[in-house]
């Protein structure tokens, strides 16, 4: 490998030997094509005309009134497929094509990355196989259906808790026996090197645009940038634009589940300790022996016991701060945003919003907060209805 | 404590390859697992390869994944694995290699792990998800504790890297016979033979072959290619899975199977 893939002590490539040559090939291809003019032009064209970039930065006036400071939403929810995931799948999908690979595999939690990969598989005419935990297949059935419509095969993974980590395990296992023609399109800024770097690269358009839009629309940089953190791809994507702007606070919001104190959550940075999972050293939710523990969150996309290695470094250096948002607050916030802005946020992204709402009245009125609205919530309507039925008398006011 | 060197040089004199069964420690529970491992030793195992169960074994197929789950449900953990090894060594002094995942060692503390497990009777630790590029994280404390090093070579490992791997190896090279995860296979990978011959041309350290070795004929073919040992995992672990209600059956079946493999390895 040319680079160590380290973010401080975090990251690296802790994988079985059989995957080393494959990751080397990927690193080399990424180093080459990410600066290739033809590749860049083709990706740029697809980002514009297929995915819908650039996405707007929207000043949410009613939400701003509600919380007492200025909230701007980076509208990744408007992208094709309904989430930021397409930024990464277009980039990696094109990389796969340039490498001469003919098949794509991917893991998925909420189904958003699986869907975004299936779309690109269809677009590029590549056979696509999506690994998804059985629990997630059940709670995200609409996305499963969409993936199949795009021609992908969806493999329901039985192992473990049937969630994202188990889907990653099985995708990695499958990859080891299909290394020659198959490209593993990893969905988040985690996993072994070079994935954290590749995913950040393709997601950093979010931060680059948001920074420019702030300067254009507001005439200055924001005071705070907030994003939800599952594996950390949308967060590192938006943070990337502001890492060097030391006065911009960066806040990552993790899945607090039923509350960090209950142990039923997925807040790796808030409550975990460093360890090695899925090829990288990073903060992890684990027991005293180092066995990975079950996570819980109302949002499938954040239901992951690990986190991308760069976030671990940003936490330790203090450049970014990570906080949890609990399921109950997230569900309340989902209701709030839909009612006052007419925007259905993905439950993942709603975590970021829930934290912003928790700051109500605590910031000066001219404070500018950018929230990365990583995806839209159509996929979550059924889950929200289960927890907050419309006919519920509590909500009838 | 018996060293790899003693065992492999003895076997070389006899012109025989080592029989190396693999078990997940504590599968399905401490006592049954100990009985099974003792039976394997009595059936003629020359070296043991033992796994400490992990929640996310990415190098393992379904058979060993399920064994990990059984062992963890049966209460196995890193500390108990250490006690387990002490008891195995009380039965017979045979070399033991651990095959496991890095996080368990990290959380135990690398130095303490090497020291405690060497004291218990372990000869080497092969970390499935730690390549030679980062091996120094564990090699230094492992050497200090007196452990040998074992690394994997796979069919897609480049020749130069093979040399680097062999140079870091003091125990044996664990040759993975195929591109994939652990699991029984009907046919032996066609890559096994060539890989063994290539490695034998590169290094003096013993070369053992594992992953997908499931039948006596497979073992024979590998030995004929010049390997110093054959590692059989999933096939044996499946026998445990098939007789969970009657562990004595598993003991009998594993004994019978290993005796057969031993016979195949002995026949000229
Ligand atoms: C809309 C949305 N946001 C966020 C995430 C979390 O992933 P990441 O932390 O990589 O952005 C997901 C994952 O499925 C998602 O669908």
Give me chain A's average pLDDT, please: 96
Average pLDDT over residues B175-199: 92
Give the model's confidence band at A71: pLDDT under 50 very low, under 70 low, under 90 confident, else very high. Answer: very high
CB B216 within 8 A of CB B264: yes
pLDDT at B268: 59
Distance (Å) of CA A7 to CA A13, A178, A311, B101: 12, 29, 9, 22
Give me chain B's average pLDDT, please: 96
Average pLDDT over residues B162-178: 96
Give the SS3 label for residue A104.
Answer: strand
Q: Distance between CA atoms of A92 and A109, rounded to whole angstroms? A: 18
Q: Distance between CA atoms of B119 and B104, rounded to whole angstroms? A: 18
Average pLDDT over residues A194-213: 98
Q: Distance between CA atoms of B123 and B48, rounded to whole angstroms? A: 10
Residues of B in contact with A286 (CB under 8 A): 103, 107
Instruction: Classify residue B68 as exposed, middle or buried by CB count within 10 Å of its CB (0-12, 13-18, 19+).
Output: buried
CA B66 – ligand 1 centroid, Å: 30
- Sheet bearing A153-157, strands edge to edge: A153-157, A127-133, A103-108, A182-184
Q: How many residues does chain A have?
A: 397
Q: Distance between CA atoms of A277 and B31, rounded to whole angstroms? A: 30
Domain B10-149+213-256 - what CATH class?
Answer: alpha beta
CA B239 – ligand 1 centroid, Å: 42
Other CB atoms within 10 A of residue A129 CB = 20
Break chain B into its structural domains and give their ranges.
10-149+213-256
Across the interface, whether the CB atoms of B56 and A13 are under 8 A apart is answered no
Name every residue whose Cβ is closer than 8 Å to that of residue A127 and which is 6 or more positions away in sequence. Answer: A102, A103, A104, A121
Name every residue whose Cβ is closer than 8 Å to that of residue A374 and which is 6 or more positions away in sequence. Answer: A76, A77, A83, A84, A227, A228, A234, A346, A348, A349, A352
Q: Distance between CA atoms of A120 and B107, rounded to whole angstroms? A: 40
Across the interface, whether the CB atoms of A290 and B78 are under 8 A apart is answered yes
Q: Mind spelling out the 3-state secondary structure of A163-198? A: CHHHHHHHHHHHHHCCCCCEEECCCCCCCCCCHHHH
CA distance B14 to chain A (A): 32
Among A207, A346, A352, say which to mutate for ligand 1: greatest number of ligand atoms within 8 Å of CB.
A346
**Residue of B67, B22, B60 lying closest to B254 (CA atoms):** B22
The pLDDT of residue A397 is above 50: no
Average pLDDT over residues B105-118: 98
The pLDDT of residue A392 is above 60: no
The pLDDT of residue A223 is above 80: yes
pLDDT at A393: 57
CA A289 – ligand 1 centroid, Å: 29
Average pLDDT over residues A99-116: 96
Q: Distance between CA atoms of B125 and B108, rounded to whole angstroms? A: 14
pLDDT at A70: 98
Q: DSSP string covering A19-42, please?
A: GHHHHHHHHHHHHHHTT-HHHHHH
pLDDT at A16: 97
Predicted confidence (pLDDT) per residue in B12-26, tens digit:
999 999 999 999 999
User: Could you identify the atom of ligand 1 that is nearest to the CA of residue A203?
Assistant: 11
Residues of B in contact with A305 (CB under 8 A): none
Q: Distance between CA atoms of B255 and A271, rounded to whole angstroms? A: 47
Residue A118 annotated among the catalytic residues of the structure: no
Which of A21, A173, A288 is opposite residue B58, by nearest beta carbon? Answer: A173
CA distance B114 to chain A (A): 15
Average pLDDT over residues A298-324: 96
Residue contacts between A and B (CB atoms, under 8 Å) = 107
Instruction: Classify residue A365 as exposed, middle or buried by CB count within 10 Å of its CB (0-12, 13-18, 19+).
Output: exposed
Q: Distance between CA atoms of B93 and B85, rounded to whole angstroms? A: 11
User: Could you identify the atom of ligand 1 that is nearest to the CA of residue A164?
Assistant: 14
Across the interface, whether the CB atoms of B157 and A275 are under 8 A apart is answered no
Residues of A in contact with B162 (CB under 8 A): none
pLDDT at A174: 97
Give the SS3 label for residue B57.
Answer: coil
Give the SS3 label for residue A312.
Answer: helix
The pLDDT of residue A190 is above 60: yes
Average pLDDT over residues B42-52: 98
Predicted confidence (pLDDT) per residue in B222-265, tens digit:
999 999 999 999 999 999 999 999 999 999 999 999 999 999 99
Name every residue whose Cβ is closer than 8 Å to that of residue B57 and which is 6 or more positions away in sequence. Answer: A169, B64, B65, B68, B101, B128
Q: Distance between CA atoms of A93 and A124, rounded to whole angstroms? A: 8
Average pLDDT over residues A341-347: 98
Across the interface, whether the CB atoms of A16 and B128 are under 8 A apart is answered yes
Give the model's confidence band at A159: pLDDT under 50 very low, under 70 low, under 90 confident, else very high. Answer: confident
Average pLDDT over residues B88-102: 98
**Residue of A243, A202, A105 lying closest to A194 (CA atoms):** A202
φ, ψ of residue B232 to 5 degrees: the values are -120, 115
Give the model's confidence band at A162: pLDDT under 50 very low, under 70 low, under 90 confident, else very high. Answer: confident
Q: Distance between CA atoms of A263 and A302, rounded to whole angstroms? A: 15
The pLDDT of residue A14 is above 80: yes
C-alpha dihedral (A377, A381, A387, A391), degrees to nearest 10 = 130
The pLDDT of residue B267 is above 80: no
Predicted confidence (pLDDT) per residue in B129-159, tens digit:
999 999 999 999 999 999 999 999 999 999 9
Other CB atoms within 10 A of residue B90 CB = 10
Q: Distance between CA atoms of B242 and B250, rounded to whole angstroms? A: 8
Predicted confidence (pLDDT) per residue in A237-251, tens digit:
999 999 999 999 999
Q: Distance from CA of residue B22 to its chain's centroid?
A: 5
CA A185 – ligand 1 centroid, Å: 15
ipTM: 0.96
Average pLDDT over residues A62-87: 98
Across the interface, whether the CB atoms of B179 and A179 are under 8 A apart is answered yes
């Amino acid at each position: 490998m040319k680079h160590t893939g380290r973010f401080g002590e975090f990251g690296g490539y802790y994988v079985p030997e059989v995957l080393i040559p494959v990751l080397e090939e990927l690193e080399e291809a990424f180093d080459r094509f990410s600066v290739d003019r033809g590749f860049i032009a083709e990706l740029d064209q697809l980002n514009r005309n297929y995915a819908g970039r650039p996405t707007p930065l929207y000043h949410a006036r009613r939400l701003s009134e509600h919380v007492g400071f200025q909230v701007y939403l980076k509208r990744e929810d408007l992208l094709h497929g309904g989430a930021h995931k397409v930024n990464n799948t277009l980039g990696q999908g094109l990389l796969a094509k340039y490498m001469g690979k003919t098949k794509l595999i991917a893991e998925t939690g909420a189904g958003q990355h699986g869907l975004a990969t299936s779309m690109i598989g269809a677009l590029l005419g590549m056979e696509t196989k999506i690994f998804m935990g059985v629990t997630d297949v059940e709670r995200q059935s609409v996305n499963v259906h969409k993936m199949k419509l795009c021609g992908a095969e969806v493999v329901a993974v039985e192992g473990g808790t049937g969630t994202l980590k188990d889907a990653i395990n099985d995708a990695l296992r499958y990859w080891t026996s299909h290394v020659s023609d198959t490209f593993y399109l990893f969905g988040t800024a985690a996993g072994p090197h070079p994935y954290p770097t590749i995913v950040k690269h393709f997601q950093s358009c979010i931060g680059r645009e948001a920074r420019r839009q702030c300067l254009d629309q507001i005439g200055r940089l924001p005071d705070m940038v907030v994003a939800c953190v599952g594996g950390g791809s949308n967060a590192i994507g938006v943070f990337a634009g502001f890492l060097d702007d030391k006065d911009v606070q960066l806040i990552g919001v993790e899945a607090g589940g039923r509350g960090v104190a209950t142990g039923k959550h997925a807040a790796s940075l808030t409550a975990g300790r460093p360890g090695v999972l899925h090829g990288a050293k990073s903060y992890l939710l684990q027991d005293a022996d180092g066995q990975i523990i079950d996570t819980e969150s109302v949002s499938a996309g954040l239901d992951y016991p690990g986190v991308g290695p760069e976030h671990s470094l940003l936490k330790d250096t203090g450049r970014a701060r990570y906080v949890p948002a609990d399921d109950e607050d997230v569900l309340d916030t989902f209701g709030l945003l839909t009612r006052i802005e007419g925007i259905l946020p993905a439950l993942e992204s709603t975590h970021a919003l829930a934290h912003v709402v928790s700051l109500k009245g605590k910031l000066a009125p001219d404070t500018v907060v950018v929230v990365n609205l990583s995806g839209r919530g159509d996929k979550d309507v059924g889950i929200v209805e289960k927890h907050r039925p419309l006919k519920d008398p509590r909500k009838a006011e | 404590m018996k060293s790899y060197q003693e065992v492999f040089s003895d076997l070389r004199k006899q012109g025989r390859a080592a029989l190396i069964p693999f078990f997940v420690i504590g599968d399905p529970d401490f006592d049954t697992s100990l009985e099974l491992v003792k039976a394997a030793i009595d059936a003629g195992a020359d070296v043991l390869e033992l796994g400490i169960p992990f929640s996310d074994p990415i190098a393992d197929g379904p058979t060993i994944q399920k064994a990990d789950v059984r062992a963890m449900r049966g209460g196995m953990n890193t500390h108990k694995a250490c006690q387990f090894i002490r008891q195995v060594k009380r039965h017979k002094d045979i070399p033991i290699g651990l095959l496991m995942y890095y996080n368990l060692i990290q959380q135990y503390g690398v130095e303490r792990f090497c020291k405690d497990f060497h004291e218990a009777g372990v000869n080497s630790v092969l970390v499935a998800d730690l390549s030679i590029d980062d091996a120094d994280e564990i090699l230094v404390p492992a050497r200090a504790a007196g452990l040998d090093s074992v690394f994997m070579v796979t069919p897609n490992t480049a020749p130069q890297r093979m040399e680097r791997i062999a140079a870091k190896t003091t125990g044996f090279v664990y040759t993975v016979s195929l591109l994939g995860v652990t699991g029984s296979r009907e046919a032996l990978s066609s890559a096994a033979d060539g890989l063994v011959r290539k490695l034998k041309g590169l290094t003096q350290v013993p070369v053992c072959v594992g992953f997908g070795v499931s039948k006596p004929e497979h073992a024979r073919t590998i030995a004929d290619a010049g390997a110093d040992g054959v590692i059989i995992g999933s096939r044996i672990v499946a026998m445990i899975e098939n007789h969970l209600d009657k562990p004595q059956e598993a003991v009998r079946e594993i004994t019978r199977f290993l005796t057969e493999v031993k016979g195949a390895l002995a026949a000229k």
